[in-house]
Amino acid sequence: MRRLVYLKAVILFLVLCCYSSVAWALNSVSNIRTGQQNDGIRIVFDGTEKFQYDAFLLGNPNRLVIDLKNTAIKGNPKVPANAIIRDFRIGELSGGKGKRLVFELKGNADIKRKFALEPQAGKSNWRLVIDLVRHPDTAAPKAASAAKAVATYKPNPKRQKIVVLDPGHGGKDPGAIGRSFRTYEKNITLSMGKELKKQLESRGFKVFMTRSTDIFIPLRQRVRIARNYHADLFISLHADSTVNRNAQGLSIYTLSETASDKEAAALAERENKADIIDGMDFSDNSPEINDVLISLSQNDSRNKSSKFAAYVVNEMKKQVKIQNNTHRFAGFAVLKAPDIPSVLVELGYVSNYTEEKYLRDPSYRKKLGAAITRSVVSYFADPEIASSL
């Protein structure tokens, strides 16, 4: 009898061990969301652990199946029908330790991309991203439809390239204020934007501006404007100020989660404050923007942004004084467009007497504009860029 009690205790102990080890590894998925993309839809899952998954398509009827191993699903998530998905259900994965998610599809579709992401800085959630696109032609034979798809995506070198210029600040947000002449950054950036627009248009680019008058626009809206215009390149224009009156020179920034140095971080903080002026919390990014931040296309845009930055540095050093480590990285809100190569140019320091005087001078801005225009031309002529557009 005593021995039996002992045995029961051992069994209970083993069972508890088993359960707790399962509980440790379990990925708890709390959120499933879908978003419309240009050519299809994106499905994003948030989980507490690294995703162990399989994603594949089945026919008759068309379904997307996602097997999530070692996973529990919190609540009863719904996936509303959209352009591709008709219905959604969750079942148990055979073997018991996971879930099978079945998305009934409206027609034939392809998995364009699938990838899992580590938690972003300051966040704890892992992510799984699946991009679905509608199959180009369900009826055509395989080879023919593949050829057709290639034809559809063939880059059109003749398409006019679209550049969106973003004169920083505006309206109630003056930006930096000059030490010697009280020049407002918002006025310099707008004049520079107009000059650059003129020059780029004369080289055959289609140019839009986030603002062409003295108005306040929140940072997120600037990003949205660039996306709405389907920009191929986004250039945000600024002028900096610092306590060191001797500081001089132009610098160019591209996006990074971590700034390349303290100064760059402080600058990003100053520039991002524009939204706080408007009483908006910048940290409260819309889910759409957060999602795109993590997407792979961002990596691609970052590489392109860096490439463009290199061209600008190359042209600028022939023309004007530039900072030593001119191309730097920082977390500017305005550079967070997911799929658009984006740079932020600090045209110079309005805290420096000479540079403030220069930036007020239309002929100096013309010179800067010419250098940026040449960089834009070189960038789009770059074989790597040209082949990806």
Question: What residue is closest to Zn ion based on CB?
Answer: 238
Contacts of 241 (CB under 8 A, 6+ apart): 176, 177, 178, 179, 185, 349, 350, 351
Nearer to Zn ion, 40 or 331 (CB): 331
* Among the residue ranges 201-209, 238-246, 320-328, 375-383, the one whose residues contact Zn ion (CB under 5 A): 238-246
Q: Is 369 an interacting residue with respect to Zn ion (CB under 5 A)?
A: no
Nearer to Zn ion, 168 or 193 (CB): 168
* Among the residue ranges 175-183, 198-206, 326-334, 380-388, the one whose residues contact Zn ion (CB under 5 A): 175-183
* Among the residue ranges 49-57, 101-109, 170-178, 332-340, the one whose residues contact Zn ion (CB under 5 A): 170-178
Measure the CA–CA gap between 274 and 89, rounded to whole angstroms.
44
Contact positions with Zn ion (CB under 5 A) in 133-152 = none
Nearer to Zn ion, 238 or 327 (CB): 238
* Among the residue ranges 137-145, 160-168, 260-268, 303-311, the one whose residues contact Zn ion (CB under 5 A): 160-168
Q: Is 193 an interacting residue with respect to Zn ion (CB under 5 A)?
A: no
Nearer to Zn ion, 131 or 346 (CB): 346
Nearer to Zn ion, 77 or 174 (CB): 174
DSSP string, 162-186: EEEEEE--BTTB--SB-SSS--BHH
Contact 167, 237 (CB under 8 A): yes
Alpha helices by DSSP H, the chain: 2-25, 142-153, 185-202, 219-228, 262-272, 274-277, 287-293, 296-319, 353-359, 362-381, 383-388
Nearer to Zn ion, 271 or 291 (CB): 271
Contacts of 34 (CB under 8 A, 6+ apart): 41, 42, 43, 44, 79, 80, 82, 85
Q: Is 238 an interacting residue with respect to Zn ion (CB under 5 A)?
A: yes
Nearest distance, CB of residue 282 and Zn ion, angstroms = 14
Nearest distance, CB of residue 189 and Zn ion, angstroms = 7
Nearest distance, CB of residue 168 and Zn ion, angstroms = 4
What size, in residues, is the chain?
389
Q: Is 168 an interacting residue with respect to Zn ion (CB under 5 A)?
A: yes
User: What Å distances lie between residue 83 and 26, 34, 39, CA to CA?
Assistant: 32, 11, 10
Measure the CA–CA gap between 380 and 225, rounded to whole angstroms.
21
* Among the residue ranges 4-12, 20-28, 215-223, 230-238, the one whose residues contact Zn ion (CB under 5 A): 230-238
* Among the residue ranges 33-41, 96-104, 132-140, 167-175, the one whose residues contact Zn ion (CB under 5 A): 167-175
Measure the CA–CA gap between 157 and 374, rounded to whole angstroms.
18
Nearer to Zn ion, 130 or 268 (CB): 268
User: What Å distances lie between residue 42 and 33, 112, 156, 329, CA to CA?
Assistant: 8, 10, 26, 28
Nearer to Zn ion, 262 or 318 (CB): 262
What region does 171 belong to: left with phi over 0, alpha with psi -120 to 50, or beta?
left
Nearer to Zn ion, 46 or 346 (CB): 346
Measure the CA–CA gap between 220 and 230, rounded to whole angstroms.
16
Nearest distance, CB of residue 217 and Zn ion, angstroms = 13
Nearer to Zn ion, 131 or 185 (CB): 185
Nearest distance, CB of residue 67 and Zn ion, angstroms = 48
Measure the CA–CA gap between 389 and 383, rounded to whole angstroms.
10
Three-state secondary structure call for residue 315: helix
Measure the CA–CA gap between 316 and 44, rounded to whole angstroms.
42
Contacts of 108 (CB under 8 A, 6+ apart): 59, 62, 134, 135, 138
* Among the residue ranges 99-107, 169-177, 255-263, 331-339, the one whose residues contact Zn ion (CB under 5 A): 169-177
Nearest distance, CB of residue 206 and Zn ion, angstroms = 25
User: What Å distances lie between residue 165 and 32, 327, 343, CA to CA?
Assistant: 35, 19, 10
Among 170, 175, 218, 348, binds Zn ion (CB under 5 A): 175
Contact positions with Zn ion (CB under 5 A) in 253-292 = 271
Three-state secondary structure call for residue 374: helix
Q: Is 186 an interacting residue with respect to Zn ion (CB under 5 A)?
A: no
Residues that bind Zn ion (CB under 5 A): 168, 175, 238, 271
